Amino acid sequence: MTKDELTAAIVASAAKLGRAPSRTELMKQAGVSQRNIRKHFGTYHRALETCGIARHGAGQKVGMEELFQDWAGIARRLKKVPSLADYEQMSKYSVSPLLRRCGTWNNVPDAMKLHAGEHGQAEEYKDVWEAIERRTGRQSNVPKPCAPQCVPKIMEDRPMYGPLLQGCPLVFAPTNEAGVLFLFGAMAERLGFLVLLVQTAFPDCEAMRVVTENRLQPVKVEVEYQSRNFLKHMHDLTGCDLIVCWEHNWPECPIEVLELKTAVSTQQSALSKIKTFETQRNGGSGE
């Protein structure tokens, strides 16, 4: 059986059943052998994906909770973090949904840990959590801080501010994503951007970016307080060109990151040099 014939058989079987056929159903209906599948596609999941058929119904998007339950179940059975090969052999999904969200397979365990923490599943999946910790070598034993003599009381009815910024449109450093969005908008022109659109949907911004002399290109920008929040929010990497953040804490990020903390610091340093030069030029008067 050729690859085209196998593809046609899978599509015809899916049309007849109104859903993705199981491997057994495909073999019975079309006389397809496991050898045919391995020869042309490697795995059955990849065969379905190539034909544009989702495992649980054509065109249906797999949610993060379903992916988590499936991945965690495999980790629990293996008593370790599954490798890419483990997942391909044991999962009922292809690897594509996780790779779209996480960029690389190495990012998947941390993404699953973040998901479990956000949805209150850490205790239920304690064994899986510990497997992730063993793999990364990071233990969650946080030492208890020594209590100072006077502990500042945080007043819940008052706003919180970041450290003071000088020579910047924002007086205090941002403490959330909204502050990062404002700061990016205020600094955009100096950073080589012209913002075209700001929206609540993903990605947050569309802008034109100066890429070389007299040339601009459109870019899709997602704004985050910390770059790793992009992974936490499970955004699609293919839908974004650039992450703009206050703090870059995702060193293995597969797409470009602009850290505003560094940009602000660099601009402040440049302003200081200008002021020093002007002072020297005016004979130390500073006028």
User: What pLDDT, on a 0 to 100 scale, did the predictor assign at position 178?
Assistant: 94
Q: What is the domain class of 3-50 according to CATH?
A: mainly alpha
pTM of the model: 0.51
Q: Is the peptide bond before 203 cis (omega within 30 degrees of 0)?
A: yes
First-to-last C-alpha distance (Å) of the chain: 85
Confidence at 280, pLDDT banded by 50, 70, 90: low
Q: What is the C-alpha separation between 101 and 233, in angstroms, rounded?
A: 9
Q: What is the C-alpha separation between 207 and 193, in angstroms, rounded?
A: 6
Using one digit for the tens of pLDDT, what is the confidence trace for 4-52? 888 888 888 888 877 778 777 788 888 888 888 888 887 777 788 788 7
* Alpha helices, DSSP H, located in the chain: 3-17, 23-30, 34-40, 44-50, 64-78, 84-90, 96-102, 108-118, 126-136, 177-187, 229-232, 260-281
Yes or no: say if 248 and 257 are a contact pair by the CB < 8 Å rule: yes
Q: What is the C-alpha separation between 186 and 109, in angstroms, rounded?
A: 36
Q: What is the C-alpha separation between 207 and 189, in angstroms, rounded?
A: 11
Min mean pLDDT across 39-43, 165-169, 233-237, 256-260 is at 165-169
For the chain, domain boundaries: 3-50, 64-136, 177-268
How does DSSP assign 155-197, residue by residue? PTTS-----B-SSSSSSB---SHHHHHHHHHHHTTTTTEEEEE
Min mean pLDDT across 49-53, 55-59, 233-237 is at 55-59
Sheet (strand 215-226) strand order: 193-198, 205-212, 215-226, 242-247, 256-259
User: What pLDDT, on a 0 to 100 scale, did the predictor assign at position 198?
Assistant: 94
pLDDT beyond 60 at 138: no
Classify residue 138 by its DSSP letter: -
